[in-house]
Amino acid sequence: MIDHKELIAELLALRQRIREGEHGERVEPQHKRGKLSARERLDLLLDEGTFQEIDAYRLHRQSGFGLEEKRIPGDGVVAGFGKINGRVVCVYSQDFTVLGGSFSEVQGQKVSKVIDLALDAGVPIIGIMDSVGARIQEGVYSLAAYSELFWRNTQASGVVPQISVMVGPCAGGSVYSPGLTDFIIMTEGISQMFVTGPKVIEAVTREHVDKQTLGSAQVHGTRSGVAHFVAADERQAFALTRQLLSYLPSNYAEMPPATEPKDDPWRQDETLDTIVPTDPTEAYDMHQVIERIFDLGSFLPVHQRFATNAIVGFARLHGQVVGVIANQPAVKAGVLDIDSADKIARFIRFCDAFNVPLISLIDTPGFMPGVMQEHGGIIRHGAKIVYAYSEATVPKIAVILRKAYGGAYIVMSSKYIRTDLVFAWPTAEIAVMGAEGAVNILYARELKAAEDPQAEREKYIAQYRQKFGRPYYAAASGHIDEILVPHETRPRLIAALELLKNKRAQTRPKKHGNIPL
C-alpha cells in the first residue's frame, strides 16, 4: 500500500514540474527572450506568498495537428487569486512557453472561472497577457473561448475594475479582451498589440511596417491611446498595477480606499496666485497647478503621453481619492480635440462607475477648428465629454482657471450639466468666444468704417474684456458659485468634497443610455 508520505511527495513533485517544467522549460525560454515566466510575474504583482492557484492540472482535450503530444498541465495559463497591498484580486497569467500561450478551449475555461469568481466576490481582475493568439489547431473551440472571455469582460465592465498588463505579443481578435478592460498597461520592448499583423497589412494595403512601429507600447501610449500606461520594463509594469489599484475600490458598491492624510489640508501655496499669466496668449504648465493643489506626490496620470492637451489621472485630496480632469494650456493651447475628448470622456465614465469624485481644472480656448477635426467627427467625439459629465452622479467640482469659451465652457463641467460646485479664479474668462473673434463679429461694420480700425478694435476688445475677461459677470448671476484666491483652492476643494461625501443623485430608469461612440 502506498503511504501518505508518498502520496504527498507525488503531489509536490508534480507541482514542481508544473511550476518549472521537467528541465526548466517553463522558465528558461522566457528568460532567453528577455521576459519573466508566468509565475515570476505573479510573484512581482502579488503580495508575497498570497497567490492561490486553481486549475493547475487542467489539460486540453483536443487532438490533431500534433496536439495530442502536447498536453501540458495548466494549458498555457496560470490562474487564481491573491492579494495586492492586502486586498484580494483575481489574476491570470498567460504562459508563453506552452504552445506560445495560445488561447485554447481550456485556457478560456480557466480564465472564465476566475472572472466569474471575481464577479461573485466583487474583486478586481488582472490579466497578464503574453500570447501568440488563438490556438489555430483547436479551430472554433479557441474562437468560442475568446467569445466567452469578451462576453465576461463586458459583463464585468462597471462591476469590478479590470486591468490588462501587456508583457508580450497580443494580436488578432485577442486584442479585444484588453480593449474591453478599464486599463491597459503596456511594457516597452516586449509588448505589441495589433488587430492585423505586418504580413496581412502588406498583403492587403502594401504598406511595409514592422511589429514595433505598428503596435509598440510607444505607439499605443502616444498615438492610438490604446495603452493607458507605458512601463519601461516588467518590474515597473507590475509596480504600476499595484499603484493604480491603490486608488480603486474593489467593486462598484465600494468607495475608493481613503488613506491617512499625509499632507496639510490647509496648505495654501501662494505661487498659485501668479501661476496663470495675465497675458491670455501666454501658456503655463497645468501640472504645476495640480501638484500644488492635491496631496503632494499623489497624482497618478492616466494616458500621460496621449492627447497631452488634456490631463487626466487619479490623485488624493486630504487622503480621499479623486479623479482629476484638466486642460493643458502648455500643449496645443489646451484645446479640445478628438483624442482629448475620448481621453476625458473615458476617464470620467470610469470614475463615475467606481465612485471616484471628479475635480475639473478648466482653461481651454475651445474645440479645435479645422477640416481634419470636423471630418474626423469632432461632433460625436466632443459630445462624449458632455455626455459623460452629464451622466456622472459622483460629486463633481470644477475650477475655472482662465479660458472657458463657448461650447468648451459648457461641456467642461459647467454648472448646468449638474456640476455640484463651480469655482473660478480671478483670471477666469467666461464668454461665447475670445475677445478678438467676438469683436470682429460684433463690430464688423464699425471697424470697416473706422478711420483707424486698429485703435477702434483695441477699444472694443478692452470693453469686451472688461465684461467677460473677469469672472464677476458670471458670478453675479450664479453661473459660477464662488471666486477663489488661487491659493485657497486646496482647502476649498477639501471642504467641498467633504460636503458632497454622501451625495446620492437619482438617475432616470432606463435600459442604458446611448453615449455617442
Partner 1 sequence: MTTEHYRLRVRVDEREYEVEVEDLQANPVIARVEGKTYRVFVEPSEQKGESAAAVSPVVPSAEAAAPPPTVEAAAPGAITAPMPGDVVEVKVQVGDQVQAGDPVCVLDAMKMKNVIYAPQAGRVVAVSVTAGQAVDYGDVLVRLA
Q: What are the catalytic residues?
A: 172-173, 407-408
Window of 159-167, 325-333, 440-448, 492-500 that interacts with partner 1 by CB under 8 A: 325-333
Tell the smallest beta-carbon distance from residue 84 to partner 1 (Å): 8
DSSP state of 257: P
CA distance 275 to 486: 9
Instruction: Decide: 407 and 366 in contact? Cβ < 8 Å.
Output: yes
- When the beta carbons of 233 and 391 are compared against partner 1, the nearer one is 233
305 touches 222 (CB < 8 A): yes
Among 280, 323, 395, 469, contact with partner 1 (rule: CB under 8 A): 280
First to last CA, the chain: 67
Is residue 186 within the footprint of partner 1 (CB under 8 A)?
no
Cβ(80)–Cβ(54) below 8 Å: yes
**Beta strand spans in 112-172 (E):** 125-129, 162-166, 169-171
Output phi, psi for 306, to 5 deg.
-105, 135
Which residue, 77 or 335, has its beta carbon nearer to partner 1? 335
CB of 137 to partner 1, least distance (A): 33
Smallest gap, in angstroms, from Cβ of residue 166 to partner 1? 15
Separation of alpha carbons 229 and 220, rounded Å: 9
Beta-bridge mates of residue 332: none
Residue 330 touches partner 1, criterion: CB under 8 A: yes
Does the protein bind partner 1 through residue 434 (CB under 8 A)?
Answer: yes
- Work out whether 291 is an interface residue with partner 1 (CB under 8 A): yes
For residues 38-77, which are near partner 1 according to CB under 8 A?
Answer: 44-45, 47-48
Q: What 3-state DSSP class applies to 93?
A: strand
User: Which conformational region is residue 34 in: left (phi greater than 0), alpha (psi within -120 to 50 degrees), or beta?
Assistant: left
Q: 484-503: which residues touch partner 1 (CB under 8 A)? A: none
CA 118 to CA 345: how far, in whole Å?
A: 26
Using the minimum distance from each CB to partner 1, give the nearer residue, 238 or 443.
Answer: 238
**Helix, strand, or coil (residue 137):** helix
Q: For partner 1, which residue of 7, 136, 296, 515 counts as binding (CB under 8 A)? A: 296
H or E segment at 34? none
For position 382 contacting partner 1 by CB under 8 A, the verdict is: no
Answer yes or no whether residue 85 interacts with partner 1 by CB under 8 A. Answer: yes
239 binds partner 1 (CB under 8 A): yes
Radius of gyration of the chain from Cα atoms? 27
Told to check if 458 binds partner 1 by CB under 8 A, we report no
Nearer to partner 1, 39 or 135 (CB): 39
Q: Residue 409: what are its φ and ψ, rounded to 5°?
A: -60, -45
Residue 365, interface with partner 1 (CB under 8 A)?
Answer: yes
Q: Which residues bind partner 1 (CB under 8 A)?
A: 44-45, 47-48, 85, 188, 207, 209, 213, 218, 221-223, 229-233, 235-236, 238-240, 242-243, 262-263, 280-283, 287, 291-292, 296-298, 301, 304-308, 329-335, 365-366, 368, 370, 372, 434, 436
